[in-house]
Structure 1
Amino acid sequence: MQFVKLIVAESMDSEMSGFVRIHEKVMEDLGIGEEGFVEIEYGGKKVKSSVMPHLASERIIRVPLSLRELLRAGTGDEVVVRASSVKEASLVLLSELPDLSLISLLRGRVVNRGEKIRIASRVIEVLECQPESSAVISERTRILCGKN
Structure 2
Amino acid sequence: MTFDWDLIVGNTITPTPGILAIKAASNGNVGIGTPNPTEKLAVNGTIRAKEIKVKASPWPDYVFNDDHQLMPLDSLASFVKENKHLPNIAPAKSVEENGVALGELNRQLLQKIEEMTLYLIDQSREIKSLKNEVQALKTQQR
Q: Same fold (TM over 0.5)?
A: no
CA radius of gyration, larger in: 2
**Greater RCO (Cα-Cα under 8 Å, separation 6 or more):** 1
TM-score normalised to structure 2 length: 0.19
TM-score normalised to structure 1 length: 0.18
